[in-house]
Amino acid sequence: MPAFRAPRGTRDILPAEGPAWARLAAIAADLARRYGYAPIETPLFELTAIFERGLGEGTDVVEKELFRLETRGDEVSALRPENTAGIVRAYLEHGMQTWHQPVRLSTIGSMFRYDRPQAGRYRQFHQWDAEAIGDPGPAIDAELVELNARFYAEVGLTEVRARLNSIGDPACRPGYVAELTAFYRRREALIPEGDRRRVATNPLRLLDSKEEALVALNADAPRIVERLCATCAEHFAAVRVHLDALGIAYELEPRLVRGLDYYTRTAWEFYRAGAEGQQQALGGGGRYDGLAELLGGRPTPGIGFAIGLERVILALEAQESPHARPPSPGPAAVVVGADPDDTATRLRIATELRAAGLSVRADLGRRRLGRQLEGAAREGAHFAVIVGDELAAGNVLVRDLEAGTQRTVPLGGLARHIARGEAQHRHGVAAEE
């Protein structure tokens, strides 16, 4: 038993898992480029007040899940539990209001919540966020829902479904919340004891509870989508028209409210069919038209989504997708040598090949040639570059490890020979000069 282990609720991403993570990040970055979402990086920690004002002091995230930092001086900071508040803070701080609107931004990074660890739910987790700030119209809502869906399709997830709702705005939601509060107060004895405080502090959060008693109770709860003001109802209808035009399937879910106070109007989540539990959402998003004002800016519309990458990888594994654990690519070549002690020459040749843009490893162990070749084959290398007596004439031997063929190649043409062989990937056939 090791003396130290990773902190509870965290995990190490080991080398064998790296290709799956790199693949998700590459797909996200490519989609962001294609859709015009520019990269942004914000700090891993922010002033706690940003989360208290933006997310809501009565939310579980702020009350229970913030990793608060002990810092010198008067500033009180916390590790970020989500990205949107920090991105909107950056939008305001750097004058992005003067840019062409909407400002489309994208980022991938770690989030932190002091939550009860369980499958797919870690205290340090990773998200891809896409945010569009400065456009109040329904078309940008549809664009982001479609982009969210596109990511799942391109990573290879099947049977992914969207759930959609509108949660109104400051004009119509307060009346609905008052009606919902009265509904729960009349039935408070039926609400599990641990959830009763939410009747006063955050009754919307009771709507998406998976507690059996609340699920039954919520079947009769008033629905906000039936109590939207005319402006919100018109916006929601237009969002649906745009989604229908894009061919995006969705289910209306009147109990979908999202967990943070800054959400307004459009809200959505994605699930895999048959895995619709509260902790099984793959990702989702919504509109946050009041967040900029809460953070000290002028009223600015915004909308975005976050996708949990751990959840996506677990979902790929559940559907037994080969993309869940793609094989690690082997190097193009491993440089080995007949003289076990001549590691300097092997390292020099490998360095020159890397400078030419190739993936190359030098075997730096002082062991006989046969063992070096065995190691190169185990790593999945395409070629072994063998340094031997031919070096005196400026040559090396290049062996195709799958086919077992080899040829003499001048050092001056070695990089071109390996690059061409990699591009053609014709094992067993010597690359043409």
DSSP 305: E
Note the pLDDT of residue 44: 93
Q: Which of 269, 284, 282 is nearest to 315 (CA)?
A: 282
Write the single-letter amino acid at 73: G
Domain termination site, one of 291, 324, 357? 324
Is 262 inside any structural domain? Answer: yes
How high is the pLDDT of residue 231? 94
**Beta-carbon contacts of residue 10 (< 8 Å; ≥ 6 apart):** 122, 123, 124
Whole-number Å distance between alpha carbons of 314 and 387: 44
> Is residue 102 reached through a cis peptide bond, with omega within 30 degrees of 0 on the bond before it?
yes
CATH of the domain at 71: 3.30.930.10
134 lies in the same domain as 237: yes
Q: Are residues 319 and 342 in the same domain?
A: no
Domain-located, residue 192: no
Q: How many Cβ atoms from other residues are within 10 Å of residue 118's Cβ?
A: 9
Do 274 and 342 share a structural domain?
no
Beta-bridge partner residues of 421 = none
Same domain flag for 385 and 242? no
Q: What is the CATH number of the domain that holds 342?
A: 3.40.50.800
Residue 126 lies in a domain: yes
In this structure, are 320 and 233 located in the same domain?
Answer: yes
Range of the domain at 46: 15-172+228-324
- Nearby residues of 70 by Cβ (< 8 Å), 6 or more positions away: none
Number of H helices and E strands in the chain, helices first, is 14, 16
Give the N- to C-terminal CA distance of the chain in Å, as an integer. Answer: 55
Residue 221 placed within a domain: no
The residue from 303, 324, 345 where one domain ends is 324
Angle in degrees, 0-180, between the axes of helices 230-246 and 138-155, rounded to the nearest 10: 40
310 shares its domain with 261: yes
| Residue 306 and residue 386 in one domain | no
Residue by residue, DSSP assigns 142-196 as HHHHHHHHHHHHHHT--SEEEEEEE---TTTHHHHHHHHHHHHHTTGGGS-GGGT
221 DSSP β-pair partners: none
Dihedral sign, Cα of residue 51, residue 56, residue 62, residue 68: positive
| 209 domain residue, yes or no | no
**CA separation for the pair 53, 294 (Å, rounded):** 6
Residues 7 and 11: their CA atoms lie apart, in Å, by 8
Structural domain count of the chain: 2
Whether residues 125 and 70 share a domain: the answer is yes
Q: Alpha carbon of 101 to those of 96, 195, 388: distances in Å? A: 9, 41, 63
pLDDT at res. 139: 97
Phi, psi (degrees; rounded to nearest 5) at 79: -65, 145
Pairing of strands 103-112, 38-39: parallel
146 and 255 within one domain? yes
Residues 118, 247, single domain; the answer is yes
What is the structure's pLDDT at 431?
A: 41
- Give the SS3 label for residue 73: coil
342 and 315 inside one domain: no
Distances in whole angstroms, Cα of residue 187 to Cα of each of 58, 191, 200: 22, 7, 13
Q: Nearest to residue 262, comparing CAs of 302, 233, 235?
A: 302
* 185 within a domain of the structure (yes/no): no
Residues 342 and 286 in one domain: no
Q: Which residue among 269, 296, 324 closes a domain?
A: 324
| Ranges under pLDDT 70 in the chain | 54-64, 117-120, 258-261, 275-279, 425-433
Pairing mode of beta strands 264-272, 160-166: antiparallel
C-beta of residue 257 within 8 angstroms of C-beta of residue 227? no
Residue 3 forms part of a structural domain: no
| Assigned domain for 178 exists | no
Q: Which residues contact 84 (CB under 8 A, 6 or more apart)?
A: 54, 129, 131, 262, 288, 291, 302, 304, 306
Determine the pLDDT at residue 433.
39
Residue 357 has φ and ψ, to the nearest 5°, of: 95, 10
